[in-house]
């Protein structure tokens, strides 16, 4: 059965990443994956987070905050409701974990980099777009630290990106948009490093249990898609 977007099962939506979209942030990236648009900014603080200072920990820290703007969806959501959104808190933690996994905190020095991921328009895959665009913003902030002599070596060990995949109409597909996601039999999100190692796997049988073999096949599909995203990251960062 044809996907609503007429894409092939392993075909991602058109992807673009534009850097330097925020005048003040040390790193910024506007990522567009089909109808999902996320503004990612990276802000440098010349101090460790309070909890690290209190525990006399060495090294820096990378953290993230995720939010959807009031009219990112078809129906406006009040800012008060957004502030209380537990889903946003969960995605914030996911993005932070994903980015920290490829950063040497000791090499980062006593700096904190905060990645803000603000969804301008949502059409599925906002968390995975936030990880992918957030890495670009983080890389630019690290370059700013290096160029200005605040750190001596690049603390980023390798690239990282993320993509969704799922089982839709009994077919495994890559990079679900909202129409597919809302009707998927299985919904999954994958965070993968440039080395091919998996950082995070989130997978749920939405309508019925899924087979172990399906998860393995969909992981392979996601890994191929993520390599394409990493190639694009490298292009925009070069």
Q: Alpha-carbon distance 41 to 21, whole Å? A: 9
The answer to whether 95 and 145 are in contact (CB under 8 A) is no
Give the pLDDT confidence score for residue 101 in this predicted structure: 97
What are the respective helix, strand and coil percentages of the chain, to the nearest 5?
A: 35, 30, 35
Domain residue limits, the chain: 15-237
Residue 184 has pLDDT above 80, yes or no: yes
Sign (positive or negative) of CA dihedral 63, 137, 98, 56: negative
**CATH number for the domain running over 15-237:** 3.30.230.70
Residue 84 has pLDDT above 80, yes or no: no
Q: Alpha-carbon distance 227 to 193, whole Å? A: 9
Name the average pLDDT for the chain: 94
Give the pLDDT confidence score for residue 79 in this predicted structure: 84
Q: With cut-offs at 50, 70 and 90, classify the pLDDT of residue 68.
A: very high
The more confident residue out of 86 and 101 is 101
pLDDT in tens, 186-226: 899 999 999 999 999 998 887 788 888 888 999 999 999 99
Q: With cut-offs at 50, 70 and 90, classify the pLDDT of residue 45.
A: very high
Q: Alpha-carbon distance 43 to 234, whole Å? A: 21
Q: Alpha-carbon distance 59 to 129, whole Å? A: 28
Give the pLDDT confidence score for residue 190 in this predicted structure: 97
pLDDT in tens, 107-149: 999 999 999 999 999 999 999 999 999 999 999 999 999 999 9
The answer to whether 30 and 79 are in contact (CB under 8 A) is no
Q: Alpha-carbon distance 90 to 92, whole Å? A: 5
Residue 83 has pLDDT above 80, yes or no: no
Find, among 9, 103, 105, the residue nearest to 59 by Cα: 105
If DSSP states are collapsed to H, E and C, what string results for 127-145?
HHHHHHHHHHHHHHHHHHH
pLDDT in tens, 144-172: 999 999 999 999 999 999 999 999 988 99
Give the pLDDT confidence score for residue 94 in this predicted structure: 97
């Amino acid at each position: 059965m044809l996907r609503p977007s007429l894409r092939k099962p392993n075909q991602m939506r058109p992807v673009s990443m534009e850097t330097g979209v925020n005048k003040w942030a040390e790193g910024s990236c506007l990522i567009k994956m089909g109808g999902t648009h996320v503004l990612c900014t990276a802000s440098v603080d010349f101090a460790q987070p309070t909890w690290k200072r209190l525990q006399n920990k060495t090294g820096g820290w990378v953290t993230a905050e995720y939010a959807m703007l009031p009219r990112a969806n078809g129906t406006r959501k009040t800012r008060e409701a957004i502030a209380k959104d537990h889903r946003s808190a969960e995605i914030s933690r996911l993005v932070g974990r994903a980015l920290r996994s490829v950063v040497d905190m000791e090499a980062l020095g006593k700096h904190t980099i905060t990645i803000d991921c603000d969804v301008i328009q949502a059409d599925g895959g906002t968390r995975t777009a936030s990880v992918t665009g957030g890495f670009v913003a983080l890389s630019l902030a690290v370059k700013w630290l290096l160029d200005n002599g605040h750190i001596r070596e690049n603390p980023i060990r390798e690239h990282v990106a993320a993509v969704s995949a799922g089982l839709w109409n009994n077919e495994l597909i890559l990079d679900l948009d909202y129409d597919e996601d809302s009707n998927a039999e299985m919904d999954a999100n994958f965070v993968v490093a440039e080395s091919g190692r998996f950082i995070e796997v989130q997978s749920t049988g939405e309508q019925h249990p899924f087979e172990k073999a399906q998860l393995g096949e969909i992981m392979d599909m996601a890994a191929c898609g993520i390599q394409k995203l990493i190639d694009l990251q490298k292009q925009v960062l070069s």
